Structure 1
Amino acid sequence: MYSYSEFDAAFVAERNRQFRGQVDRRLSGALTEDEFKPLRLMNGVYLQLHAYMLRVAIPYGTLNSTQMHKLADIADRWDQGYGHFTTRQNIQYNWPKLGDIPEMLEALAEVEMHAIQTSGNTIRNVTADHFAGAAADEIADPRPIAELLRQWSTDHPEFQFMPRKFKIAVTGSPNDRAVTKAHDLAFRMVRNDAGEPGFEVIVGGGLGRTPMVGKVLRAFLPQEDLLAYAEAVVSVWNMLGRRDNKYKARIKITVHEHGIEEIQRLTEARFEEIRPLFKGADQAQLRAIEAHFAAPDFADRPLSGFERAYNSDPVFRSWADTNLSEHKAPGYAIAQISIKKHGDTPGDATSAQMRVMADIANEFGHNELRISHEQNVVLPHVHKDDLPEIHARLKSHDLATANIGKISDIIACPGMDYCALATARSIPVAQQIATRFDELKLENEIGDLKVKISGCINACGHHHIAHIGILGLDRGGVETYQITLGGDHTETAEIGTRTGPGFGYDEIVPAIERLVAAYLDLRLTEDETFLETYRRIGMPPFKEALYGEAANKRSKAA
């Protein structure tokens, strides 16, 4: 993984020094909150309902065991003993004191981490496939490209005060695990007719109050042109993007208003203008970056321990069947650690759990961890014969829940428990759904089902692209939850369709239960997923399950 250069270290140190002075002036009253706001946002500091919040960047979701240990230490020293992993592969601390945040940033710098551009109207943390460098279906590891984009975008003088925030994702696999089509700009690795790798460029995706699936801006872009093309796209939007209305400022609205053909024309013209200015410097930098991402030395070992545990221990077998994915190296697996134990807060990890995961990665996982956009932690390179020991250690710290991809593996924003923008609670709804279906013992029978919950229209919980999406809203002072069906975050991305009127806080879990019962009755085979069933038969049967007379009678009886 990437290590800081002298320039990186000096840059972060200077930014931290500047912010320390800004915090001192805010605490002394020399800066008002309005004056301080743009300064804190540039350094990842938000003002939530009850306290400040610090959002720490985990570029493309990759970190090592030393960094994870430091995140645990920060949680203990300056927060309340836990951190919250987010859908942008970051970690948030919800309870720091403003005067302590400069110290937190200094501690992060000790392990080559920072909070720069995790907020504000700038280019945010570049995200990537959390299986990058390990996936069996991968064309190439996209993380060197993600790191190149991170370096280019950090403190870019033209892109610090844009119309709105700007999010970039990169994937190297045909199976999209990076939610590329819901990003402002995305690069999806493909091959041309000659078999050469390059990128499909996607622009104008996004969720929030106006959800849109990204459009293809270029079908094939040679890798050597990627950085110049990225600059062209952002430059065109920075000129065209609206600054009179923040709700219409994102690039998705710019693409919608001007049309993809006009955006293509302007982007290509800008690209041809700036392309000669790069003079190959970006490619030299990319080659230097690639050296940091060499694959580990994979061992050739027997699998007797794995096979013995798999055949004799049903708990281990259930976890292995659910939480492991195919690795590109023989004898290895990608292990996903669920931070979604039934009834717990999705994405929250205690400092003790962080240390356990760090130690496991150091001992068994080539010193590497990933944070997924689904708010879980990934061990990308583990030998299968080490998995029984790994599972035992995870189990002792409530980290061995076998529910990856299941109904309790819920993405949820912090909602009204923390966020000043939220209009409804998300966390309790997620906890109740997970607990209810654990009680019913239906998760394995249900199979692959993505439930995602947002506590307001900003859609930080990705509810628009869930198989079952839940949006919490305030209706006359009462929490109301709308349901959408048929969303998809993969390469076949779709925005979900609203089912109809919303449900009260006490009604939403029974409503989800009715939806799932309808699916189990309607599917053709046990292997037909919820999304496949929905695409086959459409909305009406599910709407009947939610709102029909029989459903209303069951609700009243309950």
Structure 2
Amino acid sequence: MYRYSDFDAAFVAERNRQFRQQVERRIDGSLTEDEFKPLRLMNGLYLQLHAYMLRVAVPYGTLSAAQMRQLAYIAERWDKGYGHFTTRQNIQYNWPELRDVPDILDALAEVQMHAIQTSGNTIRNVTADHFAGAAADEIADPRPVAELIRQWSTDHPEFQSMPRKFKVAVTGSPHDRAVIAAHDIGLRIVERDGARGYEVLVGGGLGRTPMIGKVITDFLPQADLLPYLEAIVSVWNLIGRRDNKYKARIKITVHEHGIDEIRRLVDARFAELRPAFSGVDQQMLAAIEAQFATPPLRDASTDGYDLAYAKDPVFRSWADTNLTAHRDPDHAIVQISLKAHGATPGDASAEQMRVMADLAERHGHGELRVSHEQNIVLPHVHKSDLPLIHATLQQHKLATANIGLISDIIACPGMDYCALATARSIPIAQEIATRFDELKLEHEIGDLKIKISGCINACGHHHVGHIGILGLDRAGVENYQITLGGDHTETAALGARTGPGFPAEGIVGAVETIVNTYLEIRESREETFIETFRRTGMAPFKAALYPEKEAARDAA
């Protein structure tokens, strides 16, 4: 994984020093909250519903064991003993005192971490496939590319006051685990005639106007990446809407001008920019790639794993659900669920963070990943270590065998924390997970993605959930809209609304109705929910959810 250079360390230290002075001026009243706001946002500090919230960058979701331990220390020392892992592969602390934030930032710098550009109208933390460098289907590790983009974009003078925030995601596999189609720029590493390059998508995004990104080029040579990205952002920075913040994202620019015109403008700007790079970026990329070499994988017997899998049904259930194929058949990718039934999705206590750090250090080459699905990944684990890892996870409520199942719910913090939220997300997620655990139907249902947002900003990615839930305020009452058929993968699609929303007390029953309908109409146990929905369309689900309305329509 990437290690700070002397420049990186000095840059972060200077930013922290500046922000410490700004915090002192806010506390003594020299700065008003309005004057302080742009300064704190540059350093990842939000003012939420009840307190300040600090969002810490976890570039492309990669953490070392030492960094995870420091996150645990910060949670205990300056927060309430836990952190919240987000759909941006970051971690948030919901209760820091303003006077403590400079000390938190200094503690992060000790382990080469920061909170820069995790907020504000700039290029945000670059995200990537959480299986990067380990997945069996991978063409190339996307993290060196993500790190190159991070270095290029951090404090880029042209891109510090853009129309709105800007998000970039990178995947190195044909199977998209980075949701690239829902980003302002999505990059997929591809190969053509033996040469490596990128398929580039532009104009994706969720929120109040969800759109799937459009392909602006199906093959960009590797050497052209940074000047091409700079061309895209430069064009948008010039022609993007600044008169209305809801229309200021690049997705609106692409929609209003059309992808062909955007491509023409980008190509012209790219021709101007390309000579200035002179290959320096490729030299940087080569140096970065050297830091992402695959760790020395162990050559040992897997008999212990095979025996445990054959004799222990609890271990077997966990292995079947929470393990993913590694490119080395004697190893596995371990997904640690932060979605125990009834728990807050994405939350981890300081104790649990330390446990995961210890496991990574002892059995996973000291490396962890944060997934956009709010779980933690150990990317390189020899199968012989899996029984011990599972036993340890069980002791700390981290062994829930539900990855990809109905209780593995993505949920934003909602109205429990967020000043923008109009409804609760966390209690709804907890109630759904608890209900289907009681019914013991999760494994019978199989692959089903529920995603919940507490407002139209869609931080819970509800638009691309197989079942999406959006909480809204209707005359002071929480109301939940349901969408079906969303997909965040390489076959990306936006969900369609089922119809009128449901009150908080009715949303779990509505989800149960949808699931029961699926179980009744699927053609086989192998047909997943999304496959059934694509085969049948909305009609059977709508009829089950709104029987009186459908009956009246038939009668008419």
TM range (shorter): over 0.9
Give the whole-Å Cα distance in 1 for the aligned partners of 2:144 and 2:507. Answer: 43
Give the whole-Å Cα distance in 2 for the aligned partners of 1:289 and 1:549. Answer: 61
The alpha carbon displacement at 1:186 in A equals 1.2
Structure 1 SS opposite 2:161: coil
Aligned residue number for residue 274 of structure 1: 273
Matched, 1:479 2:497: no
Aligned residue number for residue 93 of structure 2: 93
- Counterpart mapping for 1:375-454 below 5 A: 375-454=374-453
Give the whole-Å Cα distance in 2 for the aligned partners of 1:44 and 1:269. Answer: 34
Matched, 1:285 2:290: no
The alpha carbon displacement at 1:329 in A equals 1.2
The alpha carbon displacement at 1:296 in A equals 0.6
Structure 2 SS opposite 1:453: strand
- Counterpart mapping for 1:232-251 below 5 A: 232-251=231-250
Write out per-residue CA displacement over residues 266-295 of structure 1, whole angstroms, 9 at most, x where no aligned residue. Answer: 000000100000011101111111110010
- Counterpart mapping for 1:11-410 below 5 A: 11-192=11-192, 194-410=193-409
Give the whole-Å Cα distance in 2 for the aligned partners of 1:186 and 1:209. Answer: 20
Write out per-residue CA displacement over residues 330-352 of structure 1, whole angstroms, 9 at most, x where no aligned residue. Answer: 30000000000000000000000
Give the whole-Å Cα distance in 2 for the aligned partners of 1:75 and 1:300. Answer: 37
Equivalent residue letter for 1:143: R
Write out per-residue CA displacement over residues 199-249 of structure 1, whole angstroms, 9 at most, x where no aligned residue. Answer: 000000000000000000001001111111110100000001111100000
Give the whole-Å Cα distance in 1 for the aligned partners of 2:317 and 2:439. Answer: 17
Give the whole-Å Cα distance in 1 for the aligned partners of 2:122 and 2:242. Answer: 14
The alpha carbon displacement at 1:461 in A equals 0.2
Write out per-residue CA displacement over residues 85-125 of structure 1, whole angstroms, 9 at most, x where no aligned residue. Answer: 00000000000000100000000000000000000000000
In structure 1, runs of 5+ residues without a counterpart are: 553-558
Structure 2 SS opposite 1:511: helix
Write out per-residue CA displacement over residues 174-213 of structure 1, whole angstroms, 9 at most, x where no aligned residue. Answer: 0000000000001101122x13221000000000000000
Equivalent residue letter for 2:474: R
The alpha carbon displacement at 1:549 in A equals 3.4
Give the whole-Å Cα distance in 2 for the aligned partners of 1:43 and 1:550. Answer: 51
Give the whole-Å Cα distance in 2 for the aligned partners of 1:186 and 1:503. Answer: 34
The alpha carbon displacement at 1:472 in A equals 0.1
Give the whole-Å Cα distance in 2 for the aligned partners of 1:439 and 1:198. Answer: 48
Give the whole-Å Cα distance in 2 for the aligned partners of 1:495 and 1:189. Answer: 23
The alpha carbon displacement at 1:550 in A equals 10
Give the whole-Å Cα distance in 2 for the aligned partners of 1:551 and 1:275. Answer: 59
Give the whole-Å Cα distance in 2 for the aligned partners of 1:480 and 1:550. Answer: 19
Structure 2 SS opposite 1:163: coil
Equivalent residue letter for 1:35: E
Equivalent residue letter for 1:301: A
The alpha carbon displacement at 1:383 in A equals 0.3
Structure 1 SS opposite 2:393: helix
Structure 1 SS opposite 2:159: coil
Give the whole-Å Cα distance in 2 for the aligned partners of 1:190 and 1:533. Answer: 30
Aligned residue number for residue 554 of structure 2: none
Aligned residue number for residue 542 of structure 1: 541
Equivalent residue letter for 2:315: F
Structure 2 SS opposite 1:506: helix
Aligned residue number for residue 556 of structure 1: none
Give the whole-Å Cα distance in 1 for the aligned partners of 2:550 and 2:300. Answer: 55
Equivalent residue letter for 1:68: M
Give the whole-Å Cα distance in 2 for the aligned partners of 1:144 and 1:187. Answer: 13
The alpha carbon displacement at 1:463 in A equals 0.2
Equivalent residue letter for 2:144: P
Give the whole-Å Cα distance in 2 for the aligned partners of 1:50 and 1:520. Answer: 42
Structure 1 SS opposite 2:106: helix
The alpha carbon displacement at 1:551 in A equals 10
Write out per-residue CA displacement over residues 341-378 of structure 1, whole angstroms, 9 at most, x where no aligned residue. Answer: 00000000000000000000000001100000000000
Equivalent residue letter for 2:256: E
Write out per-residue CA displacement over residues 354-407 of structure 1, whole angstroms, 9 at most, x where no aligned residue. Answer: 000000000000110000000000000000010000000001000000000000
Equivalent residue letter for 1:165: K
Matched, 1:499 2:490: no
Aligned residue number for residue 555 of structure 1: none
Write out per-residue CA displacement over residues 397-427 of structure 1, whole angstroms, 9 at most, x where no aligned residue. Answer: 0000000000000000000000000000000
Equivalent residue letter for 2:539: P
Give the whole-Å Cα distance in 2 for the aligned partners of 1:544 and 1:41. Answer: 46
| TM-score, length basis structure 1 | 0.98
Give the whole-Å Cα distance in 2 for the aligned partners of 1:551 and 1:476. Answer: 26
Give the whole-Å Cα distance in 1 for the aligned partners of 2:524 and 2:196. Answer: 38
In structure 2, runs of 5+ residues without a counterpart are: 552-556
Write out per-residue CA displacement over residues 428-448 of structure 1, whole angstroms, 9 at most, x where no aligned residue. Answer: 000000000000000000000
Structure 2 SS opposite 1:205: coil
| TM-score, length basis structure 2 | 0.98
Write out per-residue CA displacement over residues 281-339 of structure 1, whole angstroms, 9 at most, x where no aligned residue. Answer: 10111111111001011111111100111011100000000000000113000000000
Give the whole-Å Cα distance in 2 for the aligned partners of 1:150 and 1:201. Answer: 17
The alpha carbon displacement at 1:168 in A equals 0.2
Question: Which aligned segments of 4 or more residues in structure 1 are displaced greater than 6 angstroms?
Answer: none
Structure 1 SS opposite 2:305: helix
Structure 1 SS opposite 2:335: strand
> Percent identity among equivalent residues?
74
Structure 1 SS opposite 2:88: coil
Structure 2 SS opposite 1:166: coil
Give the whole-Å Cα distance in 2 for the aligned partners of 1:353 and 1:214. Answer: 37
Structure 2 SS opposite 1:507: helix
Equivalent residue letter for 1:58: V
Matched, 1:5 2:11: no
Equivalent residue letter for 2:269: R
Aligned residues: 551
Query: Cα RMSD over matched residues?
Result: 0.9
Equivalent residue letter for 2:508: V
Equivalent residue letter for 1:354: M
Give the whole-Å Cα distance in 2 for the aligned partners of 1:416 and 1:308. Answer: 47
Equivalent residue letter for 2:66: T
Structure 1 SS opposite 2:399: coil
Structure 2 SS opposite 1:490: coil
